[in-house]
């Protein structure tokens, strides 16, 4: 079944990248016009089995924002977020470049969101139970994202991730995928008071 999941991930990401390429170009132009800096934001994340990889997003903040203000934490109205970036975050369009990660086999369409290597814990500091979340590929969306997204605390997110890893099925993936569409359209859970991701 997991081989089928990988085939679906590859085909969906490949087709989506082709179809969405004009949108990628438009977003890239808007980002460059709006602020100085690169089009893409790249950051190290923890993947399957604790392997580190570079995640891709459209840049939504001023260049070097991670070294300014509250660092990883971002709140609604954060002055580091650009005008175009605010729109990209509200529509989740900033996540689209992760289709490249899916195509490369570093991520899946559905799976636990990959944390940065040092937050909330280093890989070796996760408990054995918590490390279950790293037995599957990280995803663009996941079970925690349809159960609160950024409004829930990290410990609760990890519990949802563990549940997903233990109970994975293609049926669960389809449920998460279609529930994610509703959440994105309704713009639910984009920010929280102590959000931990850029």
pLDDT digit string (tens) for 149-160? 777 889 999 999
Q: What is the reported pLDDT for 191?
A: 55
Domain boundaries along the sequence of the chain = 2-186
pTM, two decimal places: 0.89
Among 83, 66, 95, smallest CA distance to 196 is for 66
The answer for residues whose C-beta is within 8 angstroms of residue 163's C-beta and 6 or more apart is 143
């Amino acid at each position: 079944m997991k081989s089928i999941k990988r085939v679906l991930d590859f085909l969906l990401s490949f087709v989506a990248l082709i179809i969405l390429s004009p949108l990628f170009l438009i977003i890239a132009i808007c980002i460059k016009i709006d602020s100085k800096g690169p089009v893409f934001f790249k950051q190290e994340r923890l993947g399957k089995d604790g392997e580190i990889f570079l995640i891709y997003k459209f840049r939504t903040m001023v260049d070097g924002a991670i070294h300014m203000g509250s660092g990883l934490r971002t709140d609604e109205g954060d002055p580091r977020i650009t005008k175009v970036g605010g729109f990209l975050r509200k529509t989740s369009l900033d996540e689209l470049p992760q289709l490249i990660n899916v195509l490369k086999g570093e991520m899946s369409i559905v799976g636990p969101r990959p944390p940065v290597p040092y937050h909330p814990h280093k890989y070796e500091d996760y408990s054995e139970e918590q490390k279950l979340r790293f037995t599957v590929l990280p995803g663009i969306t996941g079970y925690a994202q349809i159960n609160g997204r950024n409004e829930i605390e990290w410990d609760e997110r990890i519990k949802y991730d563990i549940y997903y890893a233990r109970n994975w099925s293609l049926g669960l993936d389809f449920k998460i995928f279609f529930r994610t569409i509703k959440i994105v359209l309704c713009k639910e859970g984009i920010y929280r008071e102590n959000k931990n991701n850029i």
